[in-house]
Structure 1
């Protein structure tokens, strides 16, 4: 089971939105603690969340979304509706590109439901890391918001570490703080370094602690499709009885990033697990 904060992060929505869906009866928690009132969700509920977001992007009101879901619209019908909306978006102005990407991402998630590849997930420890970092705030965890936020950070960071005479010692790393109720998230771009902090440098030094246990999965290709990999990780975590650590939600290690072809990128997605998980 996932806390409302962890589930919101995995589903790329805000905590406030999940509470709103609960109030409307669209997506109720799998369990509510009778003493604390804390809400808990299961990985299985990502399926319903994907449909709610997809139908919302089609322009349906939340009341209409509820009616459609209660009639159990199947994947074939939903795919047809999404493709029709995609055709409409392709004729709109460039400012709608982000919405189109969101629809495509949710469509992919719906199409692979029941076929997520979790066989390649590995359980591993993560070493402590010293990173030279820059950070910025993205509007949400959605790939369409994360990508434009993090990409300029790496260019700026490389310029600044070079200016300071600091040499990266390993692969670039990114990590994120949990989303607040409005869905905003702090994106941190980093290079592994051995240097100590210096008042003259124009970047921060972050010390990531060693992690005894994390679930990791290799993602191939553009990070626009990263949601698929993260939701596969979520399914594996729940299927194997682990729990995600919300404080260290996700790390990404960019193993290979040819600038001329993002389809050949290789990224390891890592979700930190609570040490007291029982699996």
Structure 2
């Protein structure tokens, strides 16, 4: 048998925690010395302790943990619950990493306020473009997790449908955004994933939409290098150029994104052209 201190060390928990578990009846010592009151545990009790800690880490209250323990949750069921929790935690870490990257990027933007170089912003005329596309709805334009979470899965699905329909793509992937208000104050937007298809023939009901993106007489454009979670850096550069040169945005003001180079998994190496339709201010 092991003293409470030794058992705590073996189980990687605190003595205080074991005392609490004893007090609430969750994990009783195997033996309590009647004279000294010292608690003693057996190695077999580590099995119960492991289940307690695992269920606690899943987010269950100690009251619910006790119920589950008494119901003798099986190893397979417990493993499934742990895997689900692991996936949730990994997703949360990914979301937090995106937020941290954004914070760092915002800080860098603050540091260069008043010294932004807009020399690489180019005014272009964009021709009409016939595209195959799929769309989804995101909660808001300023939530990168909602944008990427809804937009990213559309591309492999669209590629699969286009291959099945024998419709070849003839240009770089495109993303564009449109407001999709459902009521006052609603900020939801429709995200569109598209591939140019030129004059390719498309049969009936291919599983995707075919539309023509209208020609844009003037668009302020700039290359964004790096993850799209930091696209606001280039967006602010374009905004500064628009303001400094007497232009205004035309339409909803969302930038169209053309993914010129996007190596899988290497988001810091992506090269994306951002295109914002503009017009000259009245009187200019």
Query: TM-score when scaled to structure 1?
Result: 0.61
Structure 1 stretches lacking a partner, 5+ long: 1-92
- Describe the SS at the equivalent of 1:190: strand
Matches of 2:152 and 2:140 in 1, distance apart?
A: 15
Matches of 1:229 and 1:275 in 2, distance apart?
A: 21
Q: Say if 1:211 and 1:272, in contact at 8 Å, map to a contact too.
A: yes
Alignment of 1:26-105 (within 5 A): 94=93, 97=96, 99-105=99-105
Matches of 2:283 and 2:132 in 1, distance apart?
A: 35
Residue 138 of structure 1 is matched in structure 2 by: 138
Alignment partner for residue 189 of structure 2, among 185, 188, 195? 185
Residue 258 of structure 1 is matched in structure 2 by: 263
State the shift of 1:94 in Å.
3.6
Matches of 2:267 and 2:107 in 1, distance apart?
A: 21
Residue 128 of structure 2 is matched in structure 1 by: 128
User: Higher relative contact order by CA 8 Å / sep ≥ 6: 1 or 2?
Assistant: 1
Q: Is residue 238 from structure 1 mapped to residue 239 from structure 2 by the alignment?
A: no
State the shift of 1:269 in Å.
0.3
- Describe the SS at the equivalent of 2:247: coil
Matches of 1:212 and 1:275 in 2, distance apart?
A: 11
Matches of 1:134 and 1:278 in 2, distance apart?
A: 40
- Residues 171 and 197 (structure 1), Cα distance of their counterparts in 2 relative to 1, 3 Å cut: same
Query: TM-score when scaled to structure 2?
Result: 0.60
Q: Say if 1:140 and 1:179, in contact at 8 Å, map to a contact too.
A: no
Matches of 1:132 and 1:230 in 2, distance apart?
A: 26
Residue 267 of structure 1 is matched in structure 2 by: 272
State the shift of 1:111 in Å.
2.7
Matches of 1:102 and 1:187 in 2, distance apart?
A: 20
Q: Say if 2:102 and 2:230, in contact at 8 Å, map to a contact too.
A: no
Q: How many residues align?
A: 187
- Describe the SS at the equivalent of 1:158: helix
Matches of 2:233 and 2:283 in 1, distance apart?
A: 26
Q: Say if 1:178 and 1:249, in contact at 8 Å, map to a contact too.
A: no
Matches of 1:119 and 1:103 in 2, distance apart?
A: 25
Which of 112-121 and 210-219 deviates more? 112-121
